[in-house]
Amino acid sequence: MSLLESFIASYKEHFQKVVPTFDASLLGALKKAQYMLLDDKLAPSLQLKEALDHLQIRAEEPMKVAITGQFSSGKSTFLNALLAKNILPTGITPVTSKVNYIRYGDEFKIRVRYKDGRDEYHDISTIAHFTDQREFVEDIAYLTLYAPLDMLKDVVFVDTPGLNSQADSDTKTTQKVLKEVDGIIWLTLIDNAGKMSELKVLEEYLGEYQNKSLCVLNQKDKFTPMQIEETTAYVKSAFGEFFSEVIPISAKQALESRSHDKKVVLQEQLDSFLERLHVSLENRIEQFDLHELEDDFLVYQHAITEILQSDLSANIALLETSNINKVLAFIHEEIRPKSVQSKEFAIKKELNNIASKLIEQHQFFISVYDELIQEISHFEAEERQNFSQLKGTFSQDLQSAFMRIEQIIETIAEAIFNQMSTQKRTRYALQAEGLILKKMHYLPFEYEAPKINSDQIYKTLFYEENLIGKMFKQYVKNLSYIQNEVNEKNRAIYTALEKRILHWQAPYEIVRKSDSVHSDIEFANMRKFASKSYETILKPFNDEIANSYAKISSEFNHLSSAVSFNYQNATEVCVAFLENKIEKSAKLYEENPTKFTLYQPKLEEIKERLRTSFHLYELENMMHTKHTFLSKDYDRLIEQFSLLTQEKILFLEKRKERHTKIITTIEGLQQEVL
User: How far is the CA of 167 from the CAs of 7, 73, 86, 601, in angstroms?
Assistant: 66, 17, 27, 110
Mean pLDDT for the stretch of residues 443-459: 88
Q: How far apart are CA 117 and CA 213, in angstroms?
A: 32
| Residue 635 burial by Cβ neighbours in a 10 Å radius (0-12, 13-18, 19+) | middle
Mean pLDDT, the chain, integer: 84
Say which residue, 372 or 16, is predicted with more confidence.
372
Residue 657, helix vs strand vs coil: helix
290-318 pLDDT, tens digit each: 666 677 777 777 777 766 656 566 677 88
- 174-199 pLDDT, tens digit each: 777 877 788 888 888 888 776 777 77
CA 479 – CA 474 distance, rounded (Å) = 9
| Pair 230, 259: CB distance under 8 Å | no
First-last CA distance in the chain: 43
The predicted-structure confidence for 319-377, as pLDDT tens digits, reads as follows: 888 888 888 888 888 888 777 777 788 788 899 999 999 999 999 999 999 999 999 99
pLDDT of residue 80: 84
pLDDT at site 279? 67
Lowest-pLDDT choice from 418-427, 590-599, 620-629: 620-629
pLDDT given at position 42:
92
Mean pLDDT of 655-664: 96
Nearest to 139 by CA among 165, 163, 162, 113: 113
User: Which of the residue ranges 12-21, 230-239, 555-564, 579-588 would you say has the lowest mean pLDDT?
Assistant: 12-21
pLDDT band at 93 (very low <50, low <70, confident <90, very high): very low
- DSSP helix/strand/coil, 131: helix
- Taking 90 as the threshold, does the pLDDT of residue 653 lie above it? yes
User: Cα dist. 414→278, 315, 350, 461 in Å?
Assistant: 130, 138, 94, 11
Counting residues of the chain whose pLDDT is more than 90, the rounded percentage is 33
Q: What is the pLDDT of residue 263?
A: 63
| pLDDT for 517 | 95
Instruction: State how far the Cα of 519 lies from the Cα of 499, in Å rounded to an integer.
Output: 29
The whole-angstrom separation of Cα 387 and Cα 379 is 12
Contact 529/440 with Cβ under 8 angstroms? no
36-49 pLDDT per residue, tens: 999 999 999 999 99
pLDDT, residue 12, reads: 55
Between CA 450 and CA 621 the distance in angstroms is 35
What percentage of residues in the chain have a pLDDT greater than 70? 84
**DSSP single-letter state for residue 19:** P
User: What band does 92 get if pLDDT is binned at 50, 70 and 90?
Assistant: very low
**Pick from 206-215, 433-442, 560-569: least confident:** 433-442
Which range, 131-145, 505-519, 620-634, is most confident?
Answer: 505-519
- Quick: pLDDT tens for 364-415: 999 999 999 999 999 998 999 999 999 889 888 988 888 888 888 898 899 8
Tell me the per-residue pLDDT of 128-175, one tens digit each, with 9 for 90 and over.
777 665 565 678 888 899 988 888 888 889 888 766 555 566 677 777
406, 432 in Cβ contact below 8 A?
no
Residue among 157, 179, 149 at smallest CA distance from 100: 157
Q: What angle do CA 181, 186, 189 make, to 5 degrees?
A: 160
Q: What pLDDT score does 3 carry?
A: 62
pLDDT band, very low/low/confident/very high, at 91 (cuts 50, 70, 90) = low
Q: What DSSP string runs through 288-353? A: --HHHHHHHHHHHHHHHHHHHH---HHHHHHHHHHTHHHHHHHIIIIIHHHHHHHHHHHHHHHHHH
CA dihedral 433, 439, 440, 445 (to 10 degrees): -30
Per-residue confidence (pLDDT) for residue 94, from 0 to 100: 47
pLDDT for 319: 82
pLDDT band at 628 (very low <50, low <70, confident <90, very high): confident
Q: What is the arithmetic mean of pLDDT over 265-288?
A: 66
Mean pLDDT, rounded, for 508-533: 95
> Between 612 and 131, whose confidence is greater?
612
> How much is the pLDDT for 430?
76
pLDDT score recorded for residue 450: 92
How many CA atoms lie less than 13 Å away from 22 in the CB half-sphere?
17
